[in-house]
Amino acid sequence: MRILLLGSGGREHAMAWRINQSNMTDELFIAPGNPGMESLGKIFPDIQVNNFEGIASLALKENIDLLVVGPEDPLVHGITDYFALKPELRHIRIAGPCAQGAKLEGSKDFSKAFMLKYGIPTAAYRTFTSETIHEANEYLKTLKAPYVLKADGLAAGKGVIIAQSLEEAQSELKEMLGGRFGNAGNRIVIEEFLQGIECSVFVACDGRDYRILPVAKDYKRIGDGDTGPNTGGMGAISPVKFADKDFMSKVEERIIKPTIHGLIQENIDYKGFIFIGLMNVAGEPYVIEYNCRLGDPETEAIMLRIKSDFADMLYRIASGSLADYQLEIDPRTVATVIMVSGGYPGEYQKGFEILMPLDSDETILFHAGTKRDGHSIVTNGGRVVAISSYGSDIASAIERSYAKASQVVFEGKNYRHDIGKDLMNL
Ligand code: AMP
Ligand code: GLY
């Protein structure tokens, strides 16, 4: 197969690493990619993920059989539909849902209504606009602190506000409806706060059949002990002990099966990954959010645990033939640490030279925000490098990742020092 992968983060580097190992892969192309992927495929740094025309002409020129979409943006903007509507592109299989399916992530209002309709457990909620701000304030008064406010549309992971007091919630609400998130904030979902511990469940879906991939936990805040502002993700652990057989059977029966049933009922031909952000509330799973793609940094952890052929899985997702796929999972633990630029998630500088140790049998480094500058690799984003290691348990896996982290050199490097600690004490 000739495969074109879209994206440039640690998630896509990890996916490319696995795709490259498959016997089914004849050639791998990546747009825009990053320098870490240069040895895995041919990269096209000038073709961005939302440049549908550029992607289409590359796909035709290189005779692509399978398009794999890493990030949510092109999915929500309809890349799958764009290919389906053009006769010359229609033969290309796509691992990634159509725009209507991607709405599970692209619109909080849509996904909450979907969950309500199909009886999928989630926090109680209501949706408001600037015309109904008065009702929104009244609804807030019926809830208890903390208050959860979500911009309806894509807001680069920043659209969720958790306010500690009613006054704070009301002033945030006013700002959100006043345009702080642009069009993404035209509608605001206000929902009940769920108390518990989170995990990320990934489902590969071919429109009918599905496979549940390894569960992971993400660490979202910048500071140790889950302090400071939210980031794109500072680390990940897989597996997650509390997502045991009993919990996962509840997830499958109450959430995964009704989600896929609902998609079929709604005539949404969902061929891609469904990422379910879950809250474990005293042993009961609730959906915090859906995403229409794999998670970052969770993918940098779970790619090490998927032993069966990943390119084959992607092809089967895209062609509706997952029913015969034998998913094989490595039983070992994987711990991922993200090295970020100093100042991130606030303002930070780019362009610092990076020196990295080599991979070993137990530890793999994935590039995220990096760029080639002549013979050097320099920092080019908030999240710079992901370091993933195998271990027999969390302690041994994380120790290996931290040992490599200490060998990565770039000005201002920062990372969390407590990834996995909370799970060790469970
Ligand atoms: P989201 O972008 O929907 O994943 O929300 C970002 C983060 O906000 C989640 O990972 C949770 O930590 C938190 N969050 C979102 N919704 C809720 C909720 N209803 N109750 C508690 N925490 C929430
Ligand atoms: N790790 C969370 C996300 O990818 O949205």
Q: What is the pLDDT of residues 241-269, one digit of tens each?
A: 999 999 999 999 999 999 999 999 999 99
In the structure encoding, which two tokens stand for residue 334, read together? 């994987």
Residue 71 dihedral angles phi and psi, to the nearest 5°: -90, 165
Indicate the top mutation candidate among 112, 230, 289, 296 to test ligand 1's pocket, ranked by most ligand atoms within 8 A of CB: 289
CA distances from 98 to 68, 257, 258, 259, 269 (A): 13, 20, 19, 16, 7
Task: Identify the H or E element spanning 26.
Answer: none
What is residue 185's predicted lDDT score, i.e. its pLDDT? 67
pLDDT mean across residues, the chain: 95
Indicate the top mutation candidate among 158, 198, 200 to test ligand 2's pocket, ranked by most ligand atoms within 8 A of CB: 200
146 alpha carbon, distance to own chain's centre: 25
Residue 298 dihedral angles phi and psi, to the nearest 5°: -60, -35
What is residue 385's predicted lDDT score, i.e. its pLDDT? 98
What is residue 159's predicted lDDT score, i.e. its pLDDT? 82
> Is the pLDDT score of 178 beyond 90?
no
Q: Determine which residue's CA is closest to atom 3 belonging to ligand 1.
A: 289
d(CA 180, CA 163): 16
In the structure encoding, which two tokens stand for residue 233, read together? 């993700």
d(CA 389, CA 235): 12
Q: Determine which residue's CA is closest to atom 2 belonging to ligand 2.
A: 295
Number of the ligand 2 atom closest to the C-alpha atom of 295? 4
Q: What is the pLDDT of residues 3-50, one digit of tens each?
A: 999 999 999 999 999 999 999 999 999 999 999 999 999 999 999 999
Q: What is the pLDDT of residues 191-210, one digit of tens each?
A: 999 999 999 999 999 999 99
Residue scoring higher pLDDT (182 or 288): 288
pTM of the model: 0.95
